[in-house]
């Protein structure tokens, strides 16, 4: 199976590790776990636009996956956490962009997905966080 290997994304990951003492990715054998990624830039700031934030979170997941030798096509499970934009659901704006990004990045591979509405996330102004597990297919 191999020893666990941990990865820190250059830029924002270095800052988050120094501040919060955690890594962005873990690989054990062919299994990769990515910690929750927000739609931040390397300065850990968030865009004003929700769609841009979600796309950037997908980009950050991709950066962490690549460090561990995986891609979005290897992703088998996604947990996403959202600050709702509707009174009784997460909001169509969240779901639409998530599904668009799944289709764009994963093609015909559809993951198992749990989408949760939450009251708060780990940083001020953060509206989405995406955590994934991948199995590298040789």
Burial per residue of 120-131, b for 16 or more beta-carbon CB atoms within 10 angstroms, e otherwise: ebeeeebbbbbb
- pLDDT recorded at residue 137: 85
Whether pTM exceeds 0.85: yes
103 pLDDT higher than 80: yes
Query: What rounded mean pLDDT belongs to the chain?
Result: 95
Of the chain, the percentage scoring pLDDT greater than 90 comes to 92
Give the number of domains in the chain.
1
Q: CATH number, domain at 131?
A: 3.30.1330.40
Q: How would residue 2 be classed by pLDDT, with cut points 50, 70 and 90?
A: confident
Q: What is the pLDDT of residues 41-70, one digit of tens each?
A: 999 999 999 999 999 999 999 999 999 999
Cβ-in-10-Å burial (0-12, 13-18, 19+) of 54 comes to buried
Question: Which structural domain range is residue 11 located in?
Answer: 5-135
The residue to which tokens 């690989």 are assigned: 27
1 pLDDT higher than 80: no
């Amino acid at each position: 199976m191999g020893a666990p290997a941990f990865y820190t994304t250059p830029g924002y990951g270095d800052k988050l590790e120094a501040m919060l003492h955690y890594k962005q990715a873990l690989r054990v054998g062919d299994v990769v776990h990515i910690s929750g990624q927000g739609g931040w830039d390397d300065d850990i700031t968030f865009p004003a636009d929700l769609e841009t934030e979600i796309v950037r979170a997908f980009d950050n997941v991709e950066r962490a996956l690549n460090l561990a030798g995986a891609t979005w096509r290897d992703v088998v499970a996604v947990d996403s956490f959202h600050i709702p934009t509707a009174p009784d659901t997460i909001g169509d704006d969240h779901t639409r962009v998530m599904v668009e990004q799944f289709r764009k990045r994963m093609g015909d591979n559809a993951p198992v997905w749990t989408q949760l509405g939450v009251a708060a996330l780990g940083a001020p102004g953060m509206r989405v966080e995406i955590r994934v597990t991948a199995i590298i297919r040789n």
